[in-house]
Structure formats: C-alpha cells, structure tokens
Amino acid sequence: MRRIILFLIIISCFLFGSASILPIFSIEPAVGEWTALAEILSPAEMQPQSFSLLEGVRLLWQENEKILAVIIGLFSLLLPVIKLSVLWAEALFSGTLSKKWMSFLRAVSKYAMLEVFLVAMTVLLLKQMPGGSRITLESGFYAFGVSVLLSLVVAQFVETQKRESEGI
C-alpha cells in the first residue's frame, strides 16, 4: 500500500511540475464581424495566445496585479508543493505525522482545487464573451487536474492509514 501511495505521489509531483510550464489554456481572440479588420490593424493581438501557470503569474506581476499574482501563486504553486511534500513525508514515515500536520494537510487539501476552479470560471466567462472569442483547454490543465486528483486520492489513503494505525 505504501509503495502505491509513494508511486502516486511521484506521478502527482511530476504532473504538477509539467503543469506549471505547459499551457493551461489558449485564447483565440475575435471581435465579431470586425475580426478581419482587427487582424489587419493589430495582428499581434489577434494571434491565439497560450498561458501557462508560471507565465500567468509572471504576467500578472508585471501588469501590477500583484495581489492576484500572489493569490494564484500561493494557491496554485506553493500550497500544492507543500501538500505533496507533507503527503510524501507521511507516506514515507507512515503514522509519524502529528495531529498538527494532519490538520494542516486537510486545510491545504481544501484549497488545492482552487486553480482548477479558477480555470473553470475563466472558461465559463470567456465562453459567454461576445465577439466569438474562443478558449481551449490545453495539456497543462489536464496535467494539473490529474495531479490534484491524485493528491486528493493519496490524501484519502494517508488519512485512512492513519486512522487504521490509530485504531490498532
């Protein structure tokens, strides 16, 4: 069981690392019937654009949206790393984690889906944008999603193991 958990954490970590640099979604801008004119006047802005997690945080920081950059950076980059590290430690030294760490793990797990939620919200908003702008989910989104789901499964396993060991 421990081996399976460690293996799942390794996959989750690897996918998370990939998801941080792979494009999460791409936008194809459009302005309705003016699209052709806009493509002549500003071709660079009408080019499809892809955004990765790291690039998104960097762009937000550069655009002086520092609070948003910190929030996204914290919840989508830092907290998942902490969560995976804590899970790894718990899987490696099963049953050694204190209650304090376990409550921390639960708290972190709650926020780990925030990025997926943010992306889903963005997709929803852009799908309803006028002008025919299109948004497409890219490989980074799926890598991140699978990483988060795996970490959730692992967290569940770890908690079950903990309860079993406490019961014994």
Partner 1 sequence: MTNKEDKKYGVLLMVLIPIAIIFLGYLFSKDPGQSHGKSRKGASSIYSIWLTEAEVAPTKKDQSQWDVDGTAPDLSAMVVWKDQIILNTVTSNDSLIARWDPIAISVGDVFQGEVSTSTVKRIARIRSIKGEKFSIGLFDEDIVSRDYVGGWEIDTGELRTGTCELTSKGTLNRLIISVTQDDNLTVPDREFKIKGATYLEEPNDIMLETVKRWAKEAKESVKELGNNVGEKIEKIGEQVEQQRSRLEEAIKETSKKTEDKIREMLDALRNK
- Kindly list the residues in this chain that would bind partner 1 in the complex (CB under 8 A): 9-10, 13-23, 40-45, 49-52, 55, 62-64, 81, 84-89, 92-93, 96, 138, 140, 143
From the CB of 152, what's the least distance to partner 1, in Å? 16
Cβ density class 91-130: b for 16+ within 10 Å, e for less: beebeebeeeebeebeebbeebbbbbebbeeeeeebeeee
| Residue 62 parent element (H or E) | helix 53-62
What is the closest distance, in whole angstroms, from the C-beta atom of residue 94 to partner 1 in the complex? 12
Q: How far is the CB of 16 from partner 1 (least distance, A)?
A: 6
The residue (of 18 and 133) whose beta carbon lies closer to partner 1 is: 18
For CA atoms 21, 56, 68, 139, the dihedral sign is: negative
Q: Which of residues 28 and 138 has its CB atom nearest to partner 1 in the complex?
A: 138
DSSP state for residue 44 in the 8-state scheme: T
CB of 15 to partner 1, least distance (A): 6
The pair of structure tokens assigned to 35 is: 């699209």
Pick 40 or 168: Cβ nearer partner 1: 40
Pairing of the two strands 134-137 and 49-52: unpaired
In the complex with partner 1, the residue whose CB is nearer, 90 or 128, is 90
